[in-house]
Structure 1
């Protein structure tokens, strides 16, 4: 049972890392290269779509990691799992305090109602997102290491 939880947790966190890495280094670069207003409209749509999904994924990943830490408390590698859970807590806090406020504004923007500094706000979101991706990659790495 513990092995199944370990594998399921690692896969879940790994998939989240893959999606967030892709957003940071592939999707947003593609959107930024689109002509005229297409990139801003794509970011707004992505903010609505992923903004609805990611809270469940982040909290679910944290819950699974916490369950692994509790269930496998006396197993080797539990310290790494606890640190990974701490990093996932940091990622949730970063999301709520830094990224979600910008995303909540950006997902409502159209070419007609976006503020003059919309590009600067998207660049700020990108910088926070890079930091968050680094945090969740570290958490994922610790979980993988704990499996070995």
Structure 2
């Protein structure tokens, strides 16, 4: 049973990392290259769509890692699982304090109501997202290491 939990947790965290990585390095550059107001509208739509899914994914991943740590507390590598969990907690805290407030504003913006500094706010979100992606990649790498 523990093996199944380890595999499911690693896959779910890995897919989450892949989605966040692609948002940063694929989706955002595509949206930023669109003409006129299309990019900003795309960012707002993405904020609404992913803003609804990602909290469940982040918290679900954290719960799975916690279950793995508890179930595997007497096995080698549990310290690595706890470390990955701590990194995922950091990513959730970062999200709540730094990224979600910007996303909550961004997802309501239209070309008619966006603030003057909307580009600066999106740039700030992207900078924090780089850090968050690095944190969740580290968590994923530690989980994979715990499997060996």
TM-score, with structure 1 as normaliser: 1.00
Instruction: Tell me the matched-pair count.
Output: 148
Matching of residues 1-148 of structure 1 within 5 Å: 1-148=1-148
- In 2, the alpha carbon distance for the partners of 1:55 and 1:13 equals 13
State the shift of 1:78 in Å.
0.6
In structure 1, list runs of 5 or more residues that go unmatched.
none
Q: Provide the rounded CA distance (Å) in 2 between the counterparts of 1:134 and 1:110.
A: 30
> What SS does structure 2 have at the residue aligned with 1:11?
helix
Secondary structure of the structure 2 residue equivalent to 1:109: coil
Tell me the distance in 2 between the aligned counterparts of 1:19 and 1:120: 23
| SS of residue in 2 equivalent to 1:49 | helix
Q: How far off its partner does 1:100 sit?
A: 0.2
Which portions of structure 1, spanning 4 or more consecutive aligned residues, are displaced by more than 6 angstroms?
none
How far is 1:108 from its partner? Answer: 0.2
- TM-score (structure 2 length as normaliser): 1.00
Distance 1:92 1:43 in 2: 21
